[in-house]
Amino acid sequence: MKNCVLAALALSSALVLSTPAFAQETPQSQSSDSVAKPKKPSDNTTAPDAAPAPAEAPIHSEYNKPKDIPSSSNTPTFKSEAVTVNVDVSVMDNHNHFIPNLKPEQFRILEDGVPQKITQANLSEAPMTICMLIEFSGRFQQFWSYGWYETLQASYTFLETLKPDDNVAVVAYDLRPTILSDFSPDKRKAEEAMSRLRIPGFSESNVFDALTDMADRMSGIEGRKAILLIGTGLDTFSKITFDQARKSLQESGVPIYTISILQIARMSLEGRGGMSAAIANMDFLQADNEMRTFSKESGGLSFFPRFVGEYPSIFRQIEQAMREQYSFAYHPTNVARDGKFRRIKVELINPETNEPLRIVDEKNKPVKYTIIAKSGYKAPREVE
Contact partners, residue 163, CB within 8 Å, separation at least 6 = 127
Q: Which of 40, 33, 257 is nearest to 154 (CA)?
A: 257
CB 86 within 8 A of CB 124: no
Between these two residues, 239 and 52, which has the higher pLDDT value? Answer: 239
Rounded CA gap, 278 and 141, in Å?
Answer: 22
DSSP H or E run through 231: strand 224-231
Chain segment 13-70, per-residue pLDDT in tens = 443 444 443 334 456 555 445 566 655 554 444 444 444 544 444 434 444 444 454 5
pTM of the model: 0.74
Angle, CA of 14, 16 and 17, to the nearest 5°:
70
Q: Helix %, strand %, coil % for the chain, to 5?
A: 30, 25, 45
- For the chain, which residues make up each domain, given as ranges? 85-125+325-378, 126-322
Helix (H, G, I), strand (E, B) or coil at 157: helix
Q: What is the pLDDT of residue 276?
A: 66
Rounded CA gap, 274 and 82, in Å?
Answer: 60
DSSP H or E run through 298: helix 275-298
The residue-averaged pLDDT of 293-300 equals: 94
Helix (H, G, I), strand (E, B) or coil at 225: strand
Report residue 380 CA to chain centroid gap: 23
pLDDT at 196 over 70: yes
Neighbours of 35 (CB within 10 A): 24
Confidence bin at 167 (pLDDT 50/70/90): very high
Q: What is the pLDDT of residue 37?
A: 64
Between these two residues, 293 and 383, which has the higher pLDDT value? Answer: 293
Share of the chain above pLDDT 90, in %: 55
CB 117 within 8 A of CB 332: no
Rounded CA gap, 275 and 316, in Å?
Answer: 39
Chain segment 359-380, per-residue pLDDT in tens = 998 888 999 999 999 999 999 9
Chain segment 248-281, per-residue pLDDT in tens = 999 898 999 999 999 887 777 666 666 666 677 7
Q: What is the pLDDT of residue 384?
A: 42
pLDDT at 244 over 90: yes
| Dmax (CA) of the chain | 81
Q: Which of 261, 308, 287 is nearest to 16 (CA)?
A: 261
CB 68 within 8 A of CB 219: no
Query: Does 126-322 carry CATH code 3.40.50.410?
Result: yes
Q: What is the pLDDT of residue 36?
A: 64
Dihedral angle computed from the Cα positions of residues 142, 20, 230 and 159, in that order, rounded to the nearest 10 degrees: 0
The number of C-alpha atoms within 13 Å of 334 and in the hemisphere containing its C-beta is: 21
One-letter amino acid of 152: L
Neighbours of 324 (CB within 10 A): 16
Chain segment 66-103, per-residue pLDDT in tens = 445 454 445 555 455 678 999 999 999 888 788 989 99
Q: What is the pLDDT of residue 363?
A: 87
Between these two residues, 281 and 209, which has the higher pLDDT value? Answer: 209
Rounded CA gap, 236 and 174, in Å?
Answer: 9
Rounded CA gap, 100 and 312, in Å?
Answer: 22
Sheet containing strand 302-303, edge to edge, reads: 177-184, 167-173, 128-135, 224-231, 256-260, 302-303
Strands 107-111 and 114-115: antiparallel
Question: Whole-number mean pLDDT of the chain?
Answer: 82
DSSP character at residue 56: P
